Amino acid sequence: MPDSAAQPSGPRSQGPLAGLLVADFSRILAGPYATMLLADLGAEVVKVESPAGDDTRSWQPPVADGISTYYLGVNRNKRSVALDLKDPTDLAAAQELARRADIMVENFRPGGLARFGLDYDSVAAGNPGVVYASISGFGSAPAGAVLPGYDLIVQAISGLMSLTGNPDGEPFRAGISVFDVMAGLHATIGVLSAVHARAETGRGQHVEVSLLGSALSGMVNQSSAYVAGGVVPMRMGNSHPSLFPYEPMACADGDLIITAGNNGQFRKLVEVLGVPELADDPRFARNEDRTANRDLLRPLLVARLMTRTKMEWFEDIIAAGVPCGPINTVDGGVAFAEQVGLDPVVRAEGDPDGVPSVRNPIRLSETPPDYRRPPPALDEHGAEIRAWLSGGTDD
């Protein structure tokens, strides 16, 4: 098992992953998101940065207290140490951290850490229990390893952009780096699975996740349409290929998303709208019929919706048991989460006036996530981490 009994001093978590030491050699988004989730759940995460720092430190605006909000969004609950892997002393510290770690996460180009003795084989030779997670754009096979792994490139190559936008318009990227986030989630699942397996076998293993693999899995029904059905889906704007209504619909003062996902919900919807006869119309009685005849049904629904505001309809349609919702900006989304009791904004414990962040969405009744530290400044914990790794401050 990894030598992680001694960890740096500081706030201890009571979370479910307390006692696990994570050597975080990742940067940008996918890796840091994964390690933040592990940190929220109690793991001790040491973020290893180059002397120049994580790239996202300079990805601004926007900023909070002069710090990139991009960086702040994925790096809480960590300690930062700046190490120059080309410097022998710093490299020795990095290798010692990897030797002690329960988990190591990296998203260098495949093979990029081998020259520093920090690739999986080298680390596992001295730390056979390590769970070592590698996140790449296109995998570690030779043809994929040479390709740069940026989320936007994967959105293009995977086919997602061909699905996003108006049918007669140009392809669009998603509004977030969706596959970086998916890859971070998949890496977290892989790491926790490997940690569980290690409890049974005593052996670690190499966890590999690619953005393209996450993309094809994450596109679910669209990728399945091709793989299982031979259908190449194309963009449909805000329409759904298999459901109707399942899109924004115009009201008197703007659009309301309405998602009547089954026949019962459709019947409730048309009753609220005052056109109950549509539920028995053979053109619209089943979902297959509504989907095939959406161009006939849409104007009938919109004619009723245009008689009232979107929030008036929202209240009545929700009350009838049909899912719907207004199209908010991000501030509206946060406000709605507060309204429904999700308490979406948190601050680090002991720092009530610090920069807020978004709550971890996982709720655990006995060992909930905690928020021990704000995102660290570059090398904020460098002295204590170096001293600890040299054996000076074990506790």
Catalytic residue IDs: 180
Is 81 in contact with 382 (CB distance < 8 Å)?
yes
Beta bridge partners of 134: 106, 208
317: nearest Cα among 329, 328, 304: 304
Which long-range contacts link 165-173 to residues 24+ away (Cβ below 8 Å)? 165/235, 165/237, 166/235, 166/237, 167/234, 167/235, 167/236, 167/237, 169/235, 171/235
Length of the chain: 395
Q: How far apart are CA 56 and CA 43, in angstroms?
A: 22
Q: How far apart are CA 206 and CA 121, in angstroms?
A: 9
331 DSSP 8-state letter: H
DSSP 283-317: TTSSHHHHHHTHHHHHHHHHHHHTTS-HHHHHHHH
Is 239 in contact with 230 (CB distance < 8 Å)?
no
DSSP 19-55: T-EEEEE--TTHHHHHHHHHHHTT-EEEEEE-TT--G
